[in-house]
Amino acid sequence: MAIGTPVLQAIDQTLETKRRPPSQWLYEWVSTVDHKKIGLMYIVYALVFLAIAGFEAELMRIQLAVPNNHFISPQVFNRLFTMHGTTMVFFAGMPILFGFGNYLVPLMIGARDMAFPRLNAFSFWISAFGGILLYFSYLGGDGLYGAGSAPDVGWFAYAPLTARVFSPGHSTDYWTLSILLSGVGTTGTALNIMTTTICMRCKGMKLSRMPLFVWLMAVTSFLVFLTISPLTAAQIMLTIDRYLGAHFFDTQAGGSAVLWMHFFWIFGHPEVYILVLPAFGFASEIIPVFSRKAIFGYPAMVAASVSIGFISLSVWAHHMFTVGMGPAGNTFFVFSTMVISVPTGIKIFNWLATLWGGKIIYKVPMMFCIAFLFQFLIAGLTGIMLAAAPFNWQLSASYFVIAHFHYVLVGAIVTALFGAFYYWYPKVTGRLMSETLGKWHFWLFIIGFHLTFDFMHIPGLLGMPRRIYTYEAGRGWDGWNLIVGVGAVLQGAGIVFFLYNLVRSYYRGEIAGHDPWDAWTLEWATPSPPPSYNFAVEPTISSRRPLWDLKHPEDPDENYE
């Protein structure tokens, strides 16, 4: 049984009262190596890009809302979908999840900082410059050759479209280099998180006692090593092709365009898991706390996470069924894609079993997690449909695919992410986010989400291809696209409520105290916001729920684990 040590009052101040001049404040943030500040910078930076890329999506939905629309030109439309996809994946999705990882992993394992604090700062700044470089292409992309002012090759940039001949100017180079920089930063952060998880755990924090979020960040980091690196390699090859005249993806000289597809999707599919595994981690932390029960089947959850990590490395070519891989290749990738739904299903059943019989508290974080469960299930089911090669041949590159992967990215990842914001905001700022504004955010966003992405499946089934900038009337797509557009506006409104809530609660939110949710993991043992070195004394734990043991010395968890 653990004994509690009260933290000295002096460092347990919930809110800082000192005011400093802006220059000092700026210097402190730019030069910081503190994992919490770096995590916050990741999150704020990613929110900015989330807003930009979301705005790009809104523009595309306005263009497509009615047939024969001329709101934006085809050229601008190409740039918009390229920038939207690239930004969301590399400069919104990954930084925001790594931001949470950066902030929470050391706190959750009872460490005072990451294993390599300076590498951490380096990784953040290099990723940040990648995003700035990508958007600088709007200014600098014209280059000497006078073509293009932003990348327009699509987020997966198929060869040979990216060759010098077909993409003159520098816009494609901005795309390549910004992704290279982001890749370096991501690998550095993943290395840091993995090393922190292995080497910095507090006494008693065995691997079998780590919070599930930490486990999932570790699996994510492992995937980053094996999948971001192929992307980096492919981008190096593309740069060599474009600048030194090599022939990796030059079909005129015997190079292979399909090889690029393989290299890209070896990264591209596990990337989905890099994004979704941290979201699983959020759900695995929030659902037990708001069900007032320990997570159901902890060992099965860990095993499922690790096996998802491994299996996800062998599914990439299901993006390429229409390339013509032959029956053996198709069968393998159909099989491996369907197999990955087994560990995923295990996770869904475990979350449901955690809810079962619990005293569920419907606060905003929990509402988002329940929406996550429901939406992730549907996303998985359309995934199984698309995994069947014959079905895929009909619907590849249609809006059905777009609807499916946005169901995963928005319906599962972004939804769980919002839950995480409401859940950990009091730890980060010391104040709770407003429940009323949060409910407005929840309902606007969820209704908008379902209007957009439920109905987007239908024009896909009716044959509407992705990446068209407009379409004729009378194909049966008109009304559906209007509904999709209305949903996009509602989602945007929900996000506005969310951003307002973030800012307002920082100044006006209810004071949270160190543990507003009566939670059980170590981050709630620190003051809110946590002091520079997190823990005044090094914690010792003896179960998966150290704060439960502290609050209930008569019935500690270690008796049951």
Partner 1 sequence: MMQTTSTIPIREQAETPWVLPYRGKVGMACLILAESAIFLIFVVAYIYYIGRSLSGPLPAQVLELPILGTICLLSSSVTVHFAVGALRKNNVQGFTLWLAGTVLLGAMFLMTTAREWYHLIHDVGLTIRTNLFGTTFYSLVGLHATHVVIGLIMLTISLALALSGRVKEEHAERLEVLSLYWHFVDGVWVVVFLVVYVLGR
Q: Match 């079993």 to its residue by tokens.
A: 353
CB of 19 to partner 1, least distance (A): 25
Kindly tell me which residue out of 246, 339, 397, 447 binds partner 1, with binding defined by CB under 8 A.
246
Kindly tell me which residue out of 164, 293, 466, 551 binds partner 1, with binding defined by CB under 8 A.
551
Are the C-beta atoms of residues 40 and 103 closer than 8 Å to each other? yes
Site for partner 1 in 512-541 (CB under 8 A): 513-516, 518, 522, 524-527, 535-541
Kindly tell me which residue out of 139, 199, 328, 503 binds partner 1, with binding defined by CB under 8 A.
199
Q: Which is nearer to partner 1, 29 or 533 (CB)?
A: 533
Q: Which is nearer to partner 1, 238 or 495 (CB)?
A: 238
At residue 465, what are phi and psi to the nearest 5 degrees?
Answer: -75, 155
Site for partner 1 in 484-513 (CB under 8 A): 513
Kindly tell me which residue out of 33, 76, 236, 325 binds partner 1, with binding defined by CB under 8 A.
236
The yes or no reply on residue 271 touching partner 1 (CB under 8 A) is: no
The yes or no reply on residue 314 touching partner 1 (CB under 8 A) is: no
The yes or no reply on residue 270 touching partner 1 (CB under 8 A) is: no
Q: Which is nearer to partner 1, 1 or 303 (CB)?
A: 1
CB of 419 to partner 1, least distance (A): 21
Kindly tell me which residue out of 35, 37, 201, 363 binds partner 1, with binding defined by CB under 8 A.
201
Span between the terminal Cα atoms of the chain, in Å:
13
Tokens representing residue 146 in the block: 């006078």
b/e for 195-223, b at 16 or more Cβ within 10 A?
ebbeebbbeebeeebbbbbbbbbbbbbbb
Query: CB neighbours (10 Å) of residue 451?
Result: 19
Using CA of residue 90, residue 311, residue 321, residue 379, what is the dihedral sign? Answer: negative
The yes or no reply on residue 245 touching partner 1 (CB under 8 A) is: yes
Kindly tell me which residue out of 76, 161, 257, 259 binds partner 1, with binding defined by CB under 8 A.
259
CB of 527 to partner 1, least distance (A): 5
Cis peptide before 230 (omega within 30 of 0): no
144 by Cβ neighbours in 10 Å (0-12 / 13-18 / 19+) ranks as exposed
The yes or no reply on residue 557 touching partner 1 (CB under 8 A) is: no
User: According to DSSP H, which parts of 70-211 are helical?
Assistant: 74-86, 94-108, 117-140, 171-199
Pick the closest to residue 268 from 465, 414, 408, 78 (CA basis).
408
Site for partner 1 in 10-29 (CB under 8 A): 12
Entry field: residues in the chain: 561
Site for partner 1 in 364-403 (CB under 8 A): none
Kindly tell me which residue out of 255, 380, 492, 529 binds partner 1, with binding defined by CB under 8 A.
255
CB of 546 to partner 1, least distance (A): 5
Distances (CA, A) of 65 to 52, 174, 445, 446: 20, 30, 19, 20
122 by Cβ neighbours in 10 Å (0-12 / 13-18 / 19+) ranks as middle
Contacts of 106 (CB under 8 A, 6+ apart): 35, 112, 113, 114, 196, 200, 534
Q: Alpha-carbon distance 512 to 532, whole Å?
A: 19
CB of 445 to partner 1, least distance (A): 29
The yes or no reply on residue 187 touching partner 1 (CB under 8 A) is: yes
Segment interacting with partner 1 (CB under 8 A) among 54-62, 137-145, 237-245, 284-292: 237-245
Q: Give helix 399-406 / helix 435-461 axis angle, nearest 10°.
A: 160
At residue 343, what are phi and psi to the nearest 5 degrees?
Answer: -60, -30
Q: Give helix 478-508 / helix 435-461 axis angle, nearest 10°.
A: 160
CB of 262 to partner 1, least distance (A): 8
Torsion of CA 216, 217, 220, 222, to 10 degrees: -110
Kindly tell me which residue out of 204, 297, 463, 465 binds partner 1, with binding defined by CB under 8 A.
204
Site for partner 1 in 207-226 (CB under 8 A): 221, 224-226
Q: Which is nearer to partner 1, 237 or 301 (CB)?
A: 237
Kindly tell me which residue out of 248, 349, 443, 506 binds partner 1, with binding defined by CB under 8 A.
248
The yes or no reply on residue 9 touching partner 1 (CB under 8 A) is: yes
Segment interacting with partner 1 (CB under 8 A) among 195-203, 208-216, 278-286, 396-404: 195-203
Q: Which is nearer to partner 1, 244 or 328 (CB)?
A: 244
CB of 475 to partner 1, least distance (A): 41
Pick the closest to residue 100 from 285, 248, 225, 260 (CA basis).
285
CB of 528 to partner 1, least distance (A): 8
Kindly tell me which residue out of 244, 324, 554, 559 binds partner 1, with binding defined by CB under 8 A.
244
Q: Match 């090094």 to its residue by tokens.
A: 538
CB of 257 to partner 1, least distance (A): 13
Q: Which is nearer to partner 1, 197 or 330 (CB)?
A: 197
Kindly tell me which residue out of 237, 286, 416, 456 binds partner 1, with binding defined by CB under 8 A.
237
CB of 525 to partner 1, least distance (A): 5
Q: Which is nearer to partner 1, 88 or 311 (CB)?
A: 311
Kindly tell me which residue out of 33, 59, 161, 233 binds partner 1, with binding defined by CB under 8 A.
233
Q: Which is nearer to partner 1, 402 or 547 (CB)?
A: 547
- Secondary structure E strands in 368-448: none
- How many residues bind partner 1, per CB under 8 A? 71
Torsion of CA 114, 118, 119, 125, to 10 degrees: 110
Site for partner 1 in 394-453 (CB under 8 A): none
